[in-house]
Amino acid sequence: MNSLDKYQNADLSPNELSEITDQLMRSKYDYDRQQRWKNTLAHKYQVNRQSSTPRRRRLYFYVAGAAAAFALLLTLALPLLSDAPPSYQKMVDEYLSADFYEHKDRLKGDQNVAELELLAATAYNRKDFATAIDLYTQIIETGTPNFEHYFFLGLSELYSNNYTAAITHLRQAKQLNPNSRFRQETQWFLALSLLKSDSLVEGRQLLMAIKPDEWNYEKAQLLLQALE
């Protein structure tokens, strides 16, 4: 089986395909170099000879060269044609999926906690975000919301890929109590929400404001590098 036949084999491994493609490209390069030298001899030195290369072999070089060129073009073009999101978007998705922020305060069954708050926290921790959004919205509509309600409502929206709503509620949590114990968490998740909505300038500013001794500083630096 010659190289061209091997190249057409659909069962080739990536390494085998790369090796055969290199062989075809070298063959095409050698053939082109021979043709240039032949033309130089013919036109400059008037040296001509009848080619002994069979027609099928010449066709092989042309087809091999075309196949190799197409493979190289496809390899270079695929990254440009891909619809893959930017690297910072992938990093945000990885952080959100790997580091689920659990609601810890309502798991002890405190008798002083309102029933809606307990149900909302339970739904959130079960990742039933649609129910959590509905319950936190009901709590807020009672007229007695606090920053924590807006914070976990914002996270529920963020984990549901509702980035505009997440930004709105996380901003509200930040405004209600800018110095709360959730300040660092609010800043981090607000930055992620902004990046997911492609609000890169503000998202970058929030990441840059995270100090070395604060939560997720290292991840913030990696995201900033990806945004450069």
pLDDT profile of the chain (228 residues), mean per 10: 62 66 63 66 63 54 59 53 68 82 57 72 95 93 86 97 97 88 92 96 96 95 94
pLDDT of residue 56: 57
Q: Note the pLDDT tens digit of each residue in 99-122.
A: 677 776 544 443 333 788 889 999
Give start-end residues of each CATH 1.25.40.10 domain in the chain. Answer: 87-227
> Residue 168: left if φ>0, alpha if ψ -120 to 50, beta else—which one?
alpha
Cβ contact 24:84 at 8 Å: no
Owner of token pair 């307990």: 118
pLDDT of residue 88: 83
pLDDT of residue 105: 59
List, as one string, the DSSP characters of the chain: --HHHHHT-TT--HHHHHHHHHHHHHHHHHHHHHHHHHHHHHHHS-------S-HHHHHHHHHHHHHHHHHHHHHHHHHHH--PPPHHHHHHHHHHHHS-----TTSS--TTS-HHHHHHHHHHHTT-HHHHHHHHHHHHHTT---HHHHHHHHHHHHHTT-HHHHHHHHHHHHHH-TTSTTHHHHHHHHHHHHHHTT-HHHHHHHHHT--TTSTTHHHHHHHHHHH-
pLDDT of residue 121: 93
> In terms of CATH architecture, what is 87-227?
Alpha Horseshoe (1.25)
φ, ψ for residue 78 (rounded to 5)?
Answer: -55, -45
Q: How many CB atoms lie within 10 A of CB 88?
A: 23
pLDDT of residue 98: 76
pLDDT of residue 178: 80
Token readout for 64 is 């091999």
pLDDT of residue 107: 41
Cβ contact 145:154 at 8 Å: no
pLDDT of residue 155: 97
